[in-house]
Amino acid sequence: MNADQMKQIAAEKAATYVEDGMMLGLGTGSTVFYLVEAVARRVQAEGLQLTAVATSSRTAKQASELGIKMIDLNDAPTLDLTIDGADEISADFQGIKGGGGALLLEKIVALNSRRNLWIVDESKIVPQLGAFPLPIEVIPFGLAKLTQRLEAEDLHPVLRRQANGELFLTHNKNYILDLHIGNIPHPHVLGEWLDHQTGVVEHGLFLDVAKTVVVGHPAGPEVLQAPR
């Protein structure tokens, strides 16, 4: 079984957590694509009345075309549940997100949700964060100076580019620096340090955000629940 099939297994299980009348947050990425399809099937089959906010125009377009009512976050009350993917999840339920470049919008939606549920294939579950490069969204002005500060801390920043060599731009026309750290033994310490670096718009450490993770395995979905 390949990774896409395991993503679909996780997404279809996560869709069962959606309830009639919910205000739903929809994330971004390949696993969320399967989630939106699964939720839309329930909307059609069961007549669920849902309203949703998306973290990318791609997700919003897909959901809207499949019959899910989409609104802007500014027009929504607190979200009941946000379901999103992740690039890495450690044993203590901390995460790295932003491989697709939507970390700022994803974090805004996540922090305006009562509950967050992450959906991943089994390869995303790791003992400790850091093998996946940590994305940070940064403003273009002063990029060289910020890069020097990050290099001085041995964070090994690499400016993200597209496959054609052009600079990767976020939804807000900012840049992404990917930090090739290798391991992050103290993510809260690093997150707080990054929060105080001028020029950093947001970082991809999602700490103490999700209490439930659905993991796709060849044998079926596994639900992991953080200790209360």
pLDDT tens-place values along the chain, 228 residues long: 898 899 999 999 999 999 999 999 999 989 999 999 999 999 999 999 999 999 999 999 999 999 999 999 999 888 999 999 999 999 999 999 999 999 999 999 999 999 999 999 999 999 999 999 999 999 999 999 999 999 999 999 999 999 999 999 999 999 999 999 999 999 999 999 999 999 999 999 999 999 999 999 999 999 999 887
User: Nearest CA to 55 among 192, 175, 172, 161?
Assistant: 172
Which residue in 37, 65, 88, 106 is the catalytic one?
106
In the chain the domains, ranked by start, together with CATH numbers, are: 3-127+207-219 (3.40.50.1360), 134-201 (3.30.70.260)
Radius of gyration of the chain (CA): 17
Instruction: With CA atoms as reference, report the closest residue to 89 among 79, 97, 80, 101.
Output: 97
Which residue ranges make up the annotated binding site for substrate? 28-31, 84-87, 97-100, 124
> Would residue 192 show up in a list of annotated catalytic residues for this protein?
no
pTM for the whole structure: 0.94
User: Which parts are annotated binding residues?
Assistant: 28-31, 84-87, 97-100, 124
